Amino acid sequence: MKKKVLVIFVTILLLNSLIISQNKNREKSNQKEENVTFVSFPDFFNFDVPQPWPRWDKAVNYFLNQVEIEQPDFVAIAGDLVDGRWTDSPECIEQNGTLYYSDWKQRMKKHDLKYYTAIGDHELGDDPWKKDKLKLNPHFERVYDNLLDMPENGPEGKKGLAYYVRKGDLLFITVETFQVVGDSMRCSVFGEQLEWFKKVLQKHKDAKFKVVQGHIPIWGNPSARSSSKLMLDKGKDSKFYKTMIKYGTDLYLCGEFHDVTISESEGLWQIVHGASWGRKIVSTEDYLVANMENNNLNLEMKRIYKDASGGHMWNVNKPRGPREIVEINSKTLQNGPEIIGEITINKKNGKKKYLNRSGVFK
């Protein structure tokens, strides 16, 4: 009798183990087959914008409605959500951060958009950084971390500031491209963050597509509109760039220049895009729609035309903020968003191909 019970017990354990193994394999298979769509639009807004602000709201809602139509799993905003010149004191950072980040988040919530953000120079008080401003850097980072509530899987010194997300065969990593060293601000990714970055890429080397977002470009001479044109220290000679190349990163998404410049180097596409809202010279909002499906990463750059007018909106410690009125241009209202470039990155049998290239991707 005891032997029968033991046999039955062992059989049940084996069956349970088999079922668990099959479920895990099924989950892994489903994960691999998962389609993922995301939309990227850095520098949204680049200023402190109250919610509501009736003379902007119709245009903002139009744009976010277009993003919502893409049915993204998430949106990516590589820095400069706010103006951030809250440099009077730690209390000033706390109060204004609570106000303007909360208003920014409310807009995303209204359109049911899951977001992943990166730190831009505006989240750290805006450049240039004199000694008094540099002393406030820990407060800027703390308020950003507390209020934006990004994943906490980054390096110890940058929890919530650098992090990664894995969705099926897509690895999406966000880095902070700014680091205080002594009495200066370095535009770079190095030290503890770089070591963490390497480990994430190594751990997820099985991901078919790897995408990184950071605020500033790495190489080239991007087209600029109303920008201070910050670039990564050492460019292609930086260990950050070389690490991305080593692990076969496909896209580096960045902003800062408020215009579109796309280039490819050693299999890595640098996509400089986005906009600054409320500046007459920045008359378009350019956003990237990315869809991962099986062996393909399909990319479309879309453009919305907009007009800024009126006086200057008040921003903390900035005499000439954005214009008080932003409207969608009649050209877009009539025709909808314009596709200004497309490409398909195809990966199959260990080979990478670029298909269907047009417009800004040529």
Residues 6+ apart with CB under 8 A from 5: none
Sequence-separated (6 or more) residues with CB below 8 Å from residue 7: none
The phi, psi pair for 83, rounded to 5°, reads -85, -45
Fold of domain 40-359: Transcription Regulator spoIIAA (3.30.750)
| Alpha helices (H) in 73-190, listed in sequence order | 90-110, 131-134, 137-148
CA angle 138, 91, 77 (to 5 degrees): 55
- Residue 66: the pLDDT is 98
Residues 206, 15: Cα–Cα separation, whole Å: 30
Beta-strand ranges (E) seen in the chain are 36-40, 74-77, 115-117, 163-167, 170-174, 179-181, 184-186, 209-213, 251-254, 261-265, 268-272, 284-293, 296-312, 323-328, 338-348, 351-359
Residue type, 342: E
d(CA 226, CA 211) in angstroms, rounded, equals 27
Dist. CA 37–CA 74, nearest whole Å? 7
pLDDT of residue 118: 98
Rg of the chain over CA atoms, in angstroms?
22
Share of the chain above pLDDT 90, in %: 90
Closest alpha carbon to 301 in 262, 268, 342, 263: 342
- Do 189 and 177 contact (CB within 8 A), yes or no? yes
Q: How far is CA 126 from CA 16, 50, 81, 300, in A?
A: 57, 19, 11, 30
At a CB cut-off of 8 Å and minimum separation 6, what does 337 contact? Answer: 66, 302, 303, 304
Q: What is the 3-state secondary structure (H, E, C) of 45-100?
A: CCCCCCCCCHHHHHHHHHHHHHHHHCCCCEEEECCCCCCCCCCCCHHHHHHHHHHH
Q: What pLDDT does residue 250 have?
A: 98
Largest CA distance in the chain: 91
For 351, phi then psi, to 5°, come to: -115, 145
Answer yes or no: are the C-beta atoms of 241 and 279 closer than 8 Å. no
pLDDT by 10-residue block (mean), the chain, 362 residues? 45 45 43 81 98 97 98 98 98 98 98 98 97 97 98 97 98 98 96 98 97 98 97 98 98 98 98 97 98 97 98 94 97 98 94 97 96
Letter string b/e over residues 7-23, b meaning 16 or more CB atoms within 10 A of that residue's CB = eeeeeeeeeeeeeeeee
Q: What pLDDT score does 197 carry?
A: 98
Strand (E) or helix (H) holding 267: none
Task: Please name the helix (run of DSSP H) or strand (run of DSSP E) that holds residue 207, with its range, or none.
Answer: none
State pLDDT tens for residues 217-241. 999 999 999 999 999 999 999 999 9
Q: Which two tokens stand for residue 190?
A: 């190095």
Residues 255-308 pLDDT 10s: 999 999 999 999 999 999 999 999 999 999 999 999 999 999 999 999 999 999
Strands 251-254 and 268-272: parallel
So where are the chain's domains?
40-359
Question: What is the torsional sign of CA 174, 42, 59, 310?
Answer: positive
pTM of the model as a whole? 0.90
